[in-house]
Amino acid sequence: MEKIQTTKTENIRVLLEMYFNGDSTLQDEETLRNYFSRNDIDPEFKQYSPLFNYFSQEKGAMDTHTKDTHTKVKHIFTKKMFFSSFSLSAAAALAIFTFILWPDQQKGVEMMIGGERINNEQLAISKTDEQLKKISSMMGIVDQSTSSLKKLSNVEKSLSIISKK
């Protein structure tokens, strides 16, 4: 047991020497920090205890700070993301309304020939009227026919009165 202890003390001494010479690795420093965080430190090394405990505390505080900052940043980022995505959606909706839907409402007449848009409102209006006139003139024939039928029924009525007499 004492041999193991001696080996450990020797090991720590070597690591400390390496540390002060600037030859220690990150893993060596971690071993030292773990060693000095314990209660059973060799009295020979007690003087170095505040140094490594300080580093350990600092590291812990740094980790917590980083974690907090990260959470804070993440929170702000999420908030910003929400607002930016909201404003982006609003802007997109406005753009769609302004450039796609609104001009259609404003444009009175649209004309296409063979799939190509023709920007000639007067031509479109006159062609529409031409078609509407054609319909009403055809419907005039129906009107004439129905009025003829009415006249015929009137004649029939008169004839029926005569025949009754």
Partner 1 sequence: MKKVILILLAAVCPLLANAQSKQISEIFDKYEKKKHVESIVVTPSLLGFMLGGEDKEAKDLMSKIKEIRILNVPTNAIENGVPLRQILKDELDKLIIKEQFARAVKVNDGDELLEVYISQNDKGALLFLASSTAEFAVISIFGKIDKEVINSVMNGSLKLK
User: Contact residues for partner 1 (CB under 8 A)?
Assistant: 104-115, 124-129, 131-139, 141-143
Nearer to partner 1, 4 or 113 (CB): 113
Q: Using CA of residue 155, residue 156, residue 157, residue 161, what is the dihedral sign?
A: positive
Nearer to partner 1, 90 or 149 (CB): 149
Nearer to partner 1, 1 or 138 (CB): 138
Residues paired with residue 105 on neighbouring β-strands, in sequence order: none
**How far is Cα 91 from Cα 100, in angstroms, rounded to an integer?**
13
User: In the bound complex, what is the minimum distance in angstroms from residue 143's beta carbon to partner 1?
Assistant: 7
User: In the bound complex, what is the minimum distance in angstroms from residue 156's beta carbon to partner 1?
Assistant: 24
User: In the bound complex, what is the minimum distance in angstroms from residue 109's beta carbon to partner 1?
Assistant: 5
Are the C-beta atoms of residues 83 and 102 closer than 8 Å to each other?
no
C-alpha angle 18/24/26, rounded to 5°?
Answer: 155
